[in-house]
Amino acid sequence: MKLFISERAPNVVRVEIFLKEKNINVKTEVLDIMKGEAQTPTFTALNPMKRVPVLELDNGTLISESVAICRYFEALQPEPLLMGSSAEEQAVIEMWNRRAELNLLLAIASVFRHSHPAMAKLEVPQIKDWSEANRPRALEAMEVFDAQLAKNEFVAGDKFSIADITTYVAMIFARPAKVEVPESLSNLHRWLGEVKQRPSIAG
């Protein structure tokens, strides 16, 4: 199998951390999305959405969308479980992962994609007002996660999960997006410092 990636792309980083947590090695092919390599007819045949990552299985099956790829590897190699075991645990992890994805990561990505000059040729049209509209949304989501982390060691409870991976990727993406994390969000800062020490992230 082969995983098509691009360096530093947030959704690629999500899958990379997930695989490292499970100690799974997959052959990769790196695309330069800034040079339009995800827009070519060859890659579009792999993923009509023109986004990375894409997992190509040995039988030719193509899986895109980072969570779908992670779910494939979770089923292939359950331990360590990153998507939960019981029905309740799986639902709670899914809930917080979706919140991290739709309320936090998407808002931060919108700030970045609609404001950074380097993204102008990829985000057409690039709308500055949309960037600014998403800045307070990102901060509001951070407050929700800070409150959750006041009661829990990790985002979805007492175990590290895919919800932590998505939240971490959002938080590191906040820096290039120039979305400052308020110092008052002490629980979020505590969690971020601890997660950065995990072998899958620290190196």
In terms of Cα–Cα distance, which of 37, 38, 176, 53 is closest to 113? 176
Could you tell me if 51 and 100 lie in one domain? no
Q: What percent of the chain has pLDDT over 70?
A: 100
Could you tell me if 70 and 14 lie in one domain? yes
pLDDT in tens, 163-184: 999 999 999 999 999 999 999 9
Give residue 157's pLDDT: 97
Q: Is residue 116's pLDDT more than 90?
A: no
Could you tell me if 59 and 144 lie in one domain? no
pLDDT in tens, 18-27: 999 999 999 9
Angstrom distance (rounded) from CA 75 to CA 5: 21
Could you tell me if 32 and 67 lie in one domain? yes
Asked if residue 33 lies in contact with residue 10, where contact means CB atoms within 8 angstroms, the answer is: no
Angstrom distance (rounded) from CA 184 to CA 195: 19
Question: What DSSP string runs through 117-132?
Answer: GGGTTTSSS--HHHHH
Q: Which of 76, 102, 133 is the last residue of a domain?
A: 76
Asked if residue 42 lies in contact with residue 90, where contact means CB atoms within 8 angstroms, the answer is: no
Angstrom distance (rounded) from CA 156 to CA 154: 6
Give the residue-averaged pLDDT of 48-63: 97
Give the residue-averaged pLDDT of 98-126: 91
Could you tell me if 45 and 92 lie in one domain? no
Give residue 49's pLDDT: 95
Could you tell me if 109 and 193 lie in one domain? yes
Helix (H) or strand (E) holding 63: strand 62-64
pLDDT in tens, 118-129: 787 778 899 999
Could you tell me if 60 and 97 lie in one domain? no
Q: Is residue 46's pLDDT more than 90?
A: yes
pLDDT in tens, 3-39: 999 998 999 999 999 999 999 999 999 999 989 999 9
Range of the domain at 106: 87-202
Could you tell me if 197 and 171 lie in one domain? yes
Number of domains composing the chain: 2
How many Cβ atoms are within 10 Å of 175's Cβ, its own excluded? Answer: 12
* CATH code of residue 23: 3.40.30.10
Angstrom distance (rounded) from CA 138 to CA 57: 35
Could you tell me if 69 and 38 lie in one domain? yes
Prediction pTM value: 0.95
Give residue 140's pLDDT: 98
Angstrom distance (rounded) from CA 8 to CA 113: 14
In this structure, is residue 82 part of a structural domain?
A: no
- To the nearest whole number, what is the mean pLDDT of the chain? 96
Residue type (1 letter), 137: R
Give residue 121's pLDDT: 79
Give residue 117's pLDDT: 83
